[in-house]
Amino acid sequence: MERKTHIVLAAGNTVVLKPAEDACLSVLRLAELAVSHGLPVGALNVVPGLGSEAGAALAAHPDIDHLSFTGSPETGTHVAQAAAQHHVPVTLELGGKSPQLVFADADLDAALPAVVRGIIQNAGQTCSAGSRLLVQREIADSVVANLCERFATLRCDAGEADADCGPLISARQKAKLEARLVAAEADGIRVAAKGKLAPGARSGGHFVLPQLLTDIPEGHEVLQEELFGPVLVVQVFEDEAEALALANATDFGLCAGIWTHDGGRQLRLAKGIRSGQVFINNYGAAGGVELPFGGVGRSGHGREKGFEGLRSYTRIKTVAIKH
């Protein structure tokens, strides 16, 4: 949300910012700091509240010139419909089910730590989380074994403890994710490895242990839907064509990671994968401030950051003068 705010202000606009009801305190503090450091009063306006109340009222307001939303595809549909009522542009960043593709010629010493970081960062509660691992069959057993060892060492604790993985945002989100995991296990999906609570971690916290899932039926929900937690699902592919088909086998398209030394393969896959960002032999989860960020399909449309993001919050006017 903050990355949208600064680019909107940089383009010369005022901002009305409605933070998520579960995470509003940091945004309120950001506004306080901005005003205390000289931002004109009224340039940045924060309106906390429920999405169904404050968010819906703002989206439907006729004086809004551009709507920008980060959240679920379902809510994004309502925001887009509200924007259509007043014929204003809308930027939607709606999450992802981003794959990391690991080929037999990959540098595994670089790839595997990035694969783990890509799913445990912020306890998997990032739109660009690398939540799917696609690995070539000839190295699949060794890669999964290596990841099992890594996941077994992961520890969950509160944020101030600086553990590997923190809690989920709320009890509601924890219960929702745990219900999905119970259903997945009932469907025969195997939990190949799981992290642990750190010694002394607070009991009753909203922790879901980082886990690695394998033996997943084709088309299963855990391969298709954004779980929004520290859960990595594994699929095995034979060759480049199957890797591309699996990478594109969801309705989301936000980020992708490709791990291979084959330059031709890098470019073919970068072109063929349907996603807004592609990382080759790295995975940066949105990258630098100069890199446009956004998705396709259920991941939304429009771009944040970079010049593309800046242009989203400006208007082109043509003036033709005859001398």
Q: Is the dihedral of CA 239, 241, 242, 248 positive or negative?
A: positive
Element (H, E) at 283: none
CA pair distance 218, 249, nearest whole angstrom:
10
Nearest to 254 by CA among 66, 81, 92: 92
CA atoms within 13 A on the CB side of 302: 21
Catalytic residue, candidates 32, 53, 74, 127: 127
Q: Which residues contact 224 (CB under 8 A, 6 or more apart)?
A: 97, 250, 251
Catalytic residue check, 93: yes
Q: Which residues contact 30 (CB under 8 A, 6 or more apart)?
A: 2, 5
Q: Which residues pair with 135 in a beta bridge?
A: 102, 236
CA pair distance 319, 323, nearest whole angstrom:
13
Catalytic residue, candidates 21, 53, 74, 93: 93
Catalytic residue check, 148: no
> Looking at this protein, which amino acid is placed at residue 320?
A
Nearest to 252 by CA among 234, 235, 274, 236: 274
163 to each of 112, 152, 232, how far by Cα in Å? 19, 14, 18
CA pair distance 62, 35, nearest whole angstrom:
27
Phi (first) and psi of residue 231, to 5 degrees: -125, 120
C-beta of residue 85 within 8 angstroms of C-beta of residue 191: no
Residues involved in catalysis: 93, 127
